[in-house]
Amino acid sequence: MVDLDAAIGFVVAHGDAVERARLSWLRAGAAPSPELLDSAEVGQTPTGGWPAVWGADVASVDATCFRLAELDDLGALGRPAARRALDWLASRQQADGGWEEDPALADDAPWWARPGDPEARLYLTATVTFWLTVADLDARHAAPGRRAAHSPDPRWPAGPPDQAAGAYAGSAYTGVVQTAVQALAGQLQPDGTFPSYLAVGWLSAAVFHRQELFYESARIQVALADRMPKLSPANAASLAAALRRVGVDEQHWTLVAARRRLAETQRSDGGWESDDGHQFDVHTTLAAIRACR
C-alpha cells in the first residue's frame, strides 16, 4: 500500500513554495494566495503559451501543457492565464487534427517535442487533447446543477453527469477535441499501442474514456497492463493521475495495478524517483499523490 503520509512529508521537506501549495490543494482544496498563483503563471507570452527553458522566448506546446499540469494542481485552470493558454493550444491545431512545435524550435527541442518527428507529433497531440478534454470536463461540471452537492471539488466529479449534460453547450474545445480524437484513433494499432512514446497510450486512454470510446480505451489499457510490472514510478504515477483526472473509477483494474506499482517503488524517504533527474522527484511524488488521493 502507498504510504501517503510519507509522500506528503517528502513534499513538505523538499518542495518549494509552489509545490507545497500544490500539495495543499491536492490534499484539502486549499486555495493558494493570489501572489503565489501569479508566480506560478509568470513568463506567459502575449499569445498565451509559455516558452520552454530550451526555447528562448518562443511559446512551446510541450512547456505550456507542463505548466497547465502545475496550474491544475493549484486549482487554477479557470484563471485567465490558463484560459489563454488553452485557447492558444486550440488555435495551434493543424489541418490533420494534430499538434507540433513551432519550426523555430527545431534546433533546440528535445527528442519528444522535435518538430517534424512523427513520434513527437503524436505525443504532443495526445498531451494537448488530454488538457483540452480536461478543460471541457471542468466546463461541464462547473455548469449550474451539473455537480452532485456532496462532491467537494468541481475538478473531480462525484459521479456520472446527469442526462442533460450528455451533450453540453458552451464548451469551447469540443470540436477541436473531436477532430484530435479522430487523429489519435487513426494511429491506434491493433495491439493497443501507438507508434510513439508510452505516454501517448495512457493520455489517449483517458481521452477515449471521456469520449465514450470504451473499447479503444480498454485496448490501450490492456497493452499498458503488460508493461506495468516494469513501469517507472514516474510513468505509473502519470498514468494513474491521467485516468483519475477524467473520472475513471479508483477501483478500475488499471488503477489498482498502477497503485500496486507505486507501492513497490516508493522510497524509504516517502518520495518517488523521476525519470528526468532528482530535481523533479517532488513533481513525480505530487503526481503519485494525485493518483492515489
Model pLDDT for residues 103-128, shown as the tens digit of each residue: 998 888 899 999 999 999 999 999 99
Q: Which is higher by pLDDT, 169 or 273?
A: 273
pLDDT at 20 over 50: yes
The three-class DSSP label of residue 159 is coil
259 vs 155 pLDDT, higher one: 259
Which one has a higher pLDDT value, 198 or 148? 198
Confidence check: pLDDT of 143 > 80: no
- The SS3 assignment for 155 reads coil
Q: How many Cβ atoms sit within 10 Å of the Cβ of residue 263?
A: 14
Nearest to 115 by CA among 131, 203, 124: 124
- The residue type at 261: R
pLDDT band at 167; cut points 50, 70, 90: very low
Q: Average pLDDT in the 75-82 region?
A: 95
Residue 160 is classified by DSSP as P
Cβ neighbours, 10 Å, residue 169 = 8
Cell numbers for 6, please give them: 510519507
Q: What is the largest CA-CA distance in the chain?
A: 51
Q: What is the pLDDT of residues 83-96, one digit of tens each?
A: 999 999 999 999 99
Phi/psi zone of residue 90: left (φ > 0), alpha (ψ -120 to 50 degrees), beta? Answer: alpha
What phi, psi does 59 have (nearest 5°)? -60, 135
**Confidence grade of residue 162 (pLDDT, cut at 50, 70, 90):** very low
- How far is Cα 80 from Cα 4, in angstroms, rounded to an integer? 32
| DSSP tally for the chain: helices H, then strands E | 12, 2
Question: Does the reported pTM lie above 0.75?
Answer: yes
Mean pLDDT for 235-259 is 96
d(CA 194, CA 209): 17
C-alpha cell at 111: 527528442
Using CA atoms, how far residue 169 sits from 52, 149, 164, 190, 211, in Å, is 34, 21, 10, 34, 15
3-state secondary structure of 213: coil
Q: What is d(CA 117, CA 122) in angstroms, rounded to the nearest whole number?
A: 9
Mean of pLDDT over the chain = 89
Percent of the chain topping pLDDT 90: 81
Q: What per-residue confidence (pLDDT) applies to 65?
A: 97
User: What is the structure's pLDDT at 55?
Assistant: 66
